[in-house]
Structure 1
Amino acid sequence: MTSENPKVERRGLLLVLSSPSGAGKTSLARALLDADPHIRLSVSVTTRQPRPGEVDGRDYWFVTEPQFQDMVEKDQLLEWATVFGNFYGTPRAPIEQAIAEGRDVLFDIDWQGTQQLSERMAGDLVRVFVLPPSSEALGQRLRQRAQDPDEVVAKRMAAASAEISHWAEYDYVIVNADLADSSAALRAILSAERLRRERMTGLSSFVRGLQAALT
């Protein structure tokens, strides 16, 4: 006896990358997006000024501080934080829609935003912390970016220790000594998390139908 089994689908997931500035999480995020067409980057809103080459709506949604505060008051953000004097946040509606439709979303956010997401969407969250291979490498990477003045680089170096102290709050840790190796590790994490039983919608009905067809 044969019958058509119910379809197994998957709820989307939120993949978070956090690190001290300069550890390479942005490079890892770009590499993952290039390699995997089934995940997209969450576009945050921010009050900071655009850097050279950044495009509104692609890299960030650039808003004024009053506009940002209005979004906070209307509960339109899943998480938000102040970083080096600027506000950053994640719009709620597009993320909730993506998860419900089985689409994965990549986040390049700090530990503060990750904690807030953990409070609201813990079951959908996969947290990865990226560490530099050494303090010397971190300082070199920050100076090579050549986008921030020396005083900003010094502030980011001073803040790195405090940011790194949150590594144990994450599900996975990647020491980013080599971009290719770290990218492969990140893809492996994503592949495994997509296969988690609790993300599969309709799985129980599928198994019951399979069993029924075998008896």
Structure 2
Amino acid sequence: MYTLKDKELIFVFTGPHGAGRKTVAEMSGSTLDMKQVISCTTRPKRPAEVEGQDYYFLTPDQFAEAQTRDEFVELSTINNHFYGIRSNDIQRMFLTSGSIYLILNRFGAATLKKLYGDKVVRIFIYANRDILEKRLRESGDSDTDIQQYLSHYEEEMAYRDECEHAFENVDLAHTVFDLTKTLDRTLGRNLVDLD
């Protein structure tokens, strides 16, 4: 497992599916020059997804081999697909940035917090159930997928109180602005105009 250096921080964006955590994370990360660590998955690639940008898409055999070599610091199974974060990917991202971010479900966020303690800052991105359902429908998810995602809504929301920060994502620009100010203070960079 990669050992974090003094000033290295891992920001973990979590929250219910459809809350916009990926978009918020990417926009905030870009503003603050933080690099994203990409997860590995055995899930099939969706049409708009890009290898190495959205996920590293591995076959079940490749994933099992990496697991045998103890490459993962975090593992989870969602809808019969495996997901994991490789220690080497964390280390590689820290070579180009003092702070990195990941987009994980509550289980992955809890695992990293347990591994790295105060070096992990969890950011919970959420919206109410009706907004999530509307966003999922607009993104073309099937009724079955939407019901499956929403069936975990209360459990996901219960994790909010365990996170260091929580932001309701109703208006994307407002959410990103508030979050960027908060993370800028955490990083002590003073890059963002705080007026």
TM over 0.5: yes
1:55 paired to 2:27:
no
Of the two structures, which has the highest relative contact order with CA contacts closer than 8 Å and spacing of 6 or more?
1
2:28 to 15, 28, 32: 32
CA change 1:117–1:33 in 2 (3 A) is same
Partner of 2:168: 175
Counterpart CA distance in 1 for 2:96 and 2:159 is 31
Contact 1:12 1:101 in 2 (8 A): no
Secondary structure of the structure 2 residue equivalent to 1:11: coil
> Structure 1 length normalisation: TM-score?
0.79
- Residue-by-residue CA offset, 1:164-206 (whole Å, 9 max, x unaligned): 111122101111111111101211221122129xxxxxxxxxx
C-alpha separation in 1, matches of 2:78 and 2:179: 25
8 Å CA contact 1:20, 1:164 repeated in 2: yes
Q: CA deviation at 1:104?
A: 1.3
Distance in 2 between the 1:34 and 1:20 partners? 22
Q: Paired residue for 2:137?
A: 143
Identity between Structure 1 and Structure 2 (%): 26
The number of residues matched between the two structures is 185
After superposition, the C-alpha distances for 1:103-151 in whole angstroms (9 at most, x for unaligned) are 211111011101111121113211111110x2211110111111x3211
CA shift, 1:98, in A, is 3.9
User: 1:124 & 1:98 partners in 2: Cα distance?
Assistant: 15
Aligned-residue offset at 1:63? 0.3
1:6-35: CA deviation from partner (whole Å, max 9, x where unpaired): xxx972211111011011111202222332
Structure 1, unmatched stretches of 5+, are 1-8, 197-215
- Contact 2:35–2:93 under 8 Å retained in 1: no
What is the 5 A alignment of 1:88-103?
88-99=83-94, 103=98
Change (3 A) 1:151 1:191: same
Alpha-carbon shift at residue 45 of structure 1 (Å): 0.4
Instruction: Give the SS at the match of 2:70.
Output: coil
2:152 aligns to what SS in structure 1?
A: helix
Q: Distance in 2 between matches of 1:70 and 1:194?
A: 37
- The aligned counterpart of 1:113 is 108
- Name the SS of the counterpart of 2:182 in structure 1: helix
Alignment of 1:54-73 (within 5 A): 54-73=49-68
Q: Secondary structure at the match of 1:165?
A: helix
Partner of 1:17: 13
> Taking structure 1 as reference, are residues 23 and 130 closer, same or farther at Cα in structure 2, changes over 3 Å only?
same
| 1:166 match: secondary structure | helix
1:44 aligns to 2:5 (yes or no): no
Task: Find the residue that maps to 1:17 and give its secondary structure.
Answer: strand
Gaps of 5+ in 2: 190-195
Partner Cα separation in structure 1 for residue 45 and residue 98 of structure 2: 28
